[in-house]
Chains A and B, each alone.
Chain A
Amino acid sequence: MYNFFFYAVPEHFPFLLQGALVTVELSLISMLLGTLLGFFLAVGRLSARRALRWPLDAFVEVVRDTPLIVQLLLIYFSLPEAGIVLSAFWAGIAGLTLNLAAYLSEVFRAAIVAVDKGQREAAISLGMSPVAVYCRVIIPQAALASLPTLGGYFIALLKDCSLVSFISVNELLRHATIVISDTFDSMDTYIMVAIIYFMMSFISARIIRYVEVWLTPSNRRATLSVPLTMDKEGAR
């Protein structure tokens, strides 16, 4: 205990935090790219053209049926043979993005399909073009519906980032490995790593929850006047 607080923490915590910062960077960038790609995958897979649909379906299937770590190793070590050289960091981003996109495309697809068919028809019957129906009615509702799931995926992603330490990205877990090889103090180091992961996940979950509440239309309505007028109506 004494050693933990008065030696390990002051000595190595800042270095671990540097690694954590990279983990956060990886997560945020992959989340952003993965969400965009996942969305277009979902729309593409729902599109009527079969020629476009099957390669996308196949991509999603392959990504979901192979381990992330294998995908990362392939991207980092095998793509250069095909002439595509990525730094460890961007190879990590690429792997995490593709993986996330495949899973999110399923989430988005389900959310899009679940949007009330009647509202789609109402939009069409007002004369909206298919693109307008999508942008104005279907996407906003599907996005809102997928938000909680998206939050869950972000937290999973934060932790999945530890896998990119295998391709030598200097993120949290790899920094921990470096510390341990220096000090042989694996117990204290891993406790600190666990604490940092916990804090990152915990804070993210709070932020996500806050965004969710803020984006839900029913929470943005003018609250106070509503029950009053409703009561009046009911009394009549």
Chain B
Amino acid sequence: MTGPKPPVLTVRQLRKTFQGNAVLRGVDLSLHEGEIACLIGPSGTGKSTILRCLNFLEQPDGGEITFFGQYLCAEDGNSNIFRIAPPRVLQAARARMPMVFQHFNLFSHRTVMENVVEGQVVVLRRGRAEARDRARDCLARVGMLERADFYPDQLSGGQKQRVAIARALAMSPALILFDEPTSALDPQLVQEVQGVIRDLSAEGMTMLIVTHEMRFVRSIAHTVHFCEGGRIAESGAAADIFGPNAPPRIQTFMEVAHG
């Protein structure tokens, strides 16, 4: 590698208000290729909202997001004009940073295989045969190939989430967004999903993960962002955040979270 690459994603002063409730008050963030960043913080501080603004499931009200140097939204500081990229650009960006949801959100009328093929065919315009090959590959990576012909309602939570991860992987993503991927799972199923995410990290996948599982964060994150009051209150390398010299408010949060 010759020198540092430009970031995959940069976020500057991102703001979002829900009916007068200022949830994001200027979020700054950047993410580099191969980086695993975890977003932690108390409930209701806007972690999900940050992810949902990155792929424009929610429309931000201000700030700047760039994805591989391309502006997804931007504002002119002088004239105060905020602009969002046209739908085509946003759709292309979403396909390259798919999201894994807390509640899986698999397409319930489609089999596991069809779930993983869908985005490839509809969005990336891959041929069916190619898409199925790739789907098989992705399902194998998450250990769900034998369930290819099952419908979502025939799967356990952990299995559903692994399929959802395969669905994201199939898009050949540059970045995967995870919003509390294990929060809706029974405790004994958490490991299997975390294991899959760990495998992805070993393969160098770039990931932005919102989670409350501190032990998981400690074991996987390169960077940790602590979210509070609608801002990233602290950021740092995982080693520092979990080290003895962690910022006091993070220490307090960890003690409450569990330690």
| B118 on interface, CB distance cutoff 8 Å | yes
Q: Write the nearest CB–CB distance from A229 to chain B, whole angstroms.
A: 7
Q: Roughly how many angstroms separate A218 CA and B149 CA in the complex, as a whole number?
A: 11
| B83 on interface, CB distance cutoff 8 Å | no
Q: Roughly how many angstroms separate A226 CA and B111 CA in the complex, as a whole number?
A: 13
Q: Roughly how many angstroms separate A217 CA and B108 CA in the complex, as a whole number?
A: 9
Q: Roughly how many angstroms separate A129 CA and B109 CA in the complex, as a whole number?
A: 19
> When the two chains form their complex, are residues A127 and B108 in contact, meaning their CB atoms are under 8 A apart?
no
Q: Roughly how many angstroms separate A123 CA and B114 CA in the complex, as a whole number?
A: 13
Interface size on B, residues (CB 8 A): 35
> When the two chains form their complex, are residues A127 and B109 in contact, meaning their CB atoms are under 8 A apart?
no
Q: Roughly how many angstroms separate A92 CA and B139 CA in the complex, as a whole number?
A: 54
> When the two chains form their complex, are residues B108 and A229 in contact, meaning their CB atoms are under 8 A apart?
no
> When the two chains form their complex, are residues B94 and A126 in contact, meaning their CB atoms are under 8 A apart?
yes
User: Residues 122-141 of chain A: 1 if any B CB is under 8 Å from the residue's CB, otherwise 0?
Assistant: 11111111001000110011
> When the two chains form their complex, are residues A124 and B94 in contact, meaning their CB atoms are under 8 A apart?
yes
Known A124-B94, A129-B87, A136-B118: A217·B57 in contact at CB below 8 Å: no
> When the two chains form their complex, are residues A132 and B123 in contact, meaning their CB atoms are under 8 A apart?
yes
> When the two chains form their complex, are residues B101 and A126 in contact, meaning their CB atoms are under 8 A apart?
no
| A119 on interface, CB distance cutoff 8 Å | yes
Q: Roughly how many angstroms separate A137 CA and B110 CA in the complex, as a whole number?
A: 9
Q: Write the nearest CB–CB distance from A181 to chain B, whole angstroms.
A: 53
| B146 on interface, CB distance cutoff 8 Å | yes
Closest chain B residue to A145, Cβ basis: B109
> When the two chains form their complex, are residues A118 and B110 in contact, meaning their CB atoms are under 8 A apart?
no
A-B contact pairs, 10 of them (CB 8 A): A118-B104, A119-B108, A121-B101, A122-B106, A122-B164, A127-B92, A128-B122, A132-B123, A140-B109, A221-B154
Chain B residues in the interface with A (C-beta under 8 A)? 55, 57, 87, 91-96, 98-99, 101, 103-111, 118-119, 122-123, 146, 149-151, 153-154, 164, 167, 171, 177
Chain A residues in the interface with B (C-beta under 8 A)? 116, 118-119, 121-129, 132, 136-137, 140-141, 144, 217-218, 221-222, 226, 229-230
Given contacts A129-B91, A132-B123, 15 further A-B contacts (CB under 8 A): A118-B105, A119-B107, A119-B108, A126-B94, A126-B98, A126-B122, A126-B123, A127-B95, A128-B119, A141-B108, A217-B110, A221-B111, A221-B150, A226-B150, A226-B154
